[in-house]
Amino acid sequence: MAAPILGGKLALESHAAAPALSLAGDSSLAREEYVLDVTRRGIELRGGSVSAVLYGLQSLRQLAFENRGTIPVVRIHDKPFFAYRGAMLDVCRHFSPIGEVKRFIDILALHKLNVFHWHLTDDQGWRIEIRRYPALTQTGSVRRGTVVGDHRTSSEYTDEPYGGYYTQDEIREVVAYAAERGIMVIPEIEMPGHAVAALAAYPWLGCTGGPYEVMRTWGVSEDVLCIGKESTLGFLKDVLTEVLELFPSEYIHIGGDESPRKRWKSCPFCQERIRREGLRNEAELQSYLVRRIEEWLRDRGRRLIGWDEILEGGVSQDATVMSWRGTRGGIEAARHGNRVVMVPCDYFYFDYYQTHDPARVERETVATGRPDDVPHVTVRRAYEFSPYEGLDGGQRQCILGVQGNIWREYMVDFRQVEHMLLPRLAALAEVAWSCDRRDFPDFSRRLFRLKELYDQEGYRYAPYFFNGTDTVPQ
């Protein structure tokens, strides 16, 4: 069990009869709580679960690294503040083969996060093999070209086809790899918006019937799934049936964000559904879809999670809301007693600019948000997020945790992903583990040591925090 984390990098010698390193479960500890005891006689690590022991091993790895292989006598007793500590990777706008996905998972494990949210379908590519619908990957995983530069101003495209997808065997391999590191993989299958790749494969899923083309540029499409036709619901259930076989996670993410209602307004099927179901408007039509999928998932022992737009036409108590447009949706959901994961874009979108220095901003890859938008998502800003603002004691119970997002429009290769992820992910991990005992100067000191570990592992990271260029120039 220690091998994936400690690797061959730590040679443990014992001069006593006892083993140099003993790992044990301890039912008196909370599920994610661990106690790491390093004495002259050896190292004893106890945890309330396998995951908890893994966190202890990560701490041991850091200790060994920071002390050049000699572990000091120390006792660490820790447990995370939040049960949900996640990071999302978009593989639709730009793709990562599973080697890179595993590297992303390794980075999450180093930061003691426990959820990998895998954004698998979008307008620009469908990335998961579904046996029953082969065109999703045959057609839907490839776009004809890709917008060059900032999509808000560019009308230039490459004419290089761009594609990629995961076979079901690869998905299983990634899920198992993550599980060995204490990480749950939550798949995201987007509906009803961000679904143009599916429409291109099966045009009958849309209101107009198409034809549709896998999108070459970023943004939001007016073409979305037709909720009027029962065949769309059948398709979604078929897809999710295969998804549930691959992913054991309690939560299944159904997207739900940025779905324009224009097509539904002029679609006879959608309008007929609205009439027959007594819905008041198109916002309730989206809620109708979410409710049907939510019930279907619940019958199979799973929970639905979606972006905060799923609140707009009313949402069932059992849905979990991922608040991304700031914290407003999360606060509203928690006040209704829904479970919430906080992913506010102005704190935890790691595709946003991470330095205020205009000269540096120019040298960043184009990022989401505009260079002159303030505030940028600096390390300090992410660190200072207050997950409970606006909530009373009971409502706070609804906040499951926090997550950072990597949207890949402008991150063509994985080195850029690392540059945007690190070191901001460390600030997120700090909120997730210890937002009740924050101390920025102390965190800063520790982050400089973590940076050396990034160097050893060959992880790329942004330099701005470390060289003092991420703050607003005075």
Q: Contact with ligand ACM (CB under 6 A): which of 26, 170, 257, 284?
A: 257
| Residue 326 binds ligand ACM (CB under 6 A) | no
What is the distance between the alpha carbons of residues 248 and 187, in angstroms, rounded to a whole number? 10
| Residue 267 binds Zn ion (CB under 5 A) | yes
Cβ(87)–Cβ(108) below 8 Å: yes
Neighbours of 358 (CB within 10 A): 10
Please choose which of ligand ACM, Zn ion, none residue 258 contacts, taking the beta carbon within 5 to 8 angstroms, the exact cut-off set by kind: ligand ACM
Please choose which of Zn ion, ligand ACM, none residue 324 contacts, taking the beta carbon within 5 to 8 angstroms, the exact cut-off set by kind: ligand ACM
What is the distance between the alpha carbons of residues 317 and 398, in angstroms, rounded to a whole number? 11
Residue with tokens 């184009």: 366
Q: Point out which residues pair with 22 in neighbouring strands.
A: 44
Q: How far is the CB of 179 from Zn ion (least distance, A)?
A: 39
Q: Contact with Zn ion (CB under 5 A): which of 226, 333, 340, 379?
A: 226
Name the one range near Zn ion by CB under 5 A: 266-274, 386-394, 415-423, 458-466.
Answer: 266-274
* Token reading at 102: 């595993």
Cβ(32)–Cβ(52) below 8 Å: yes
Q: Contact with ligand ACM (CB under 6 A): which of 235, 307, 347, 352?
A: 307
Angle, in degrees to the nearest 10, between helices 168-180 and 230-246: 50
| Residue 258 binds ligand ACM (CB under 6 A) | yes
Whether the CA torsion 289, 292, 295, 297 is positive or negative: it is: negative
What is the distance between the alpha carbons of residues 193 and 256, in angstroms, rounded to a whole number? 7
Cβ(275)–Cβ(305) below 8 Å: no
Cβ(353)–Cβ(376) below 8 Å: yes
What is the distance between the alpha carbons of residues 460 and 420, in angstroms, rounded to a whole number? 9
Cβ(54)–Cβ(25) below 8 Å: no
Q: Contact with Zn ion (CB under 5 A): which of 269, 296, 440, 466?
A: 269
| Residue 324 binds ligand ACM (CB under 6 A) | yes
Q: Point out which residues pair with 295 in neighbouring strands.
A: none
Q: How far is the CB of 134 from Zn ion (least distance, A)?
A: 24
Q: How far is the CB of 104 from ligand ACM (least distance, A)?
A: 18
Q: How far is the CB of 393 from ligand ACM (least distance, A)?
A: 29
* Binding characters for ligand ACM, 380-419, by CB under 6 A (x = yes): ----------------------------------------
Range 203-222, binding Zn ion (CB under 5 A): 207
Name the one range near Zn ion by CB under 5 A: 146-154, 227-235, 274-282, 463-471.
Answer: 227-235
| Residue 350 binds ligand ACM (CB under 6 A) | no
Please choose which of Zn ion, ligand ACM, none residue 56 contacts, taking the beta carbon within 5 to 8 angstroms, the exact cut-off set by kind: none
Exposed / middle / buried, residue 462 (Cβ in 10 Å: 0-12, 13-18, 19+): buried
Q: How far is the CB of 258 from ligand ACM (least distance, A)?
A: 5
* Binding characters for Zn ion, 359-398, by CB under 5 A (x = yes): ----------------------------------------
Please choose which of ligand ACM, Zn ion, none residue 242 contacts, taking the beta carbon within 5 to 8 angstroms, the exact cut-off set by kind: none
Q: Which of 258, 284, 332, 384 is catalytic?
A: 258
Q: Which amino acid is at 2?
A: A
Instruction: Indicate if 282 belongs to the active site.
Output: no
DSSP 364-417: SPP-BS-TT-SS---HHHHHT--TTTT--HHHHTTEEEEEEEE--TT--SHHHH
| Residue 233 binds Zn ion (CB under 5 A) | no
Residue with tokens 């964000």: 257
Question: Hey, which residues are catalytic here?
Answer: 258
- Contact residues toward ligand ACM (CB under 6 A) are 257-258, 307, 324
- Contact residues toward Zn ion (CB under 5 A) are 207, 226, 228, 267, 269-270
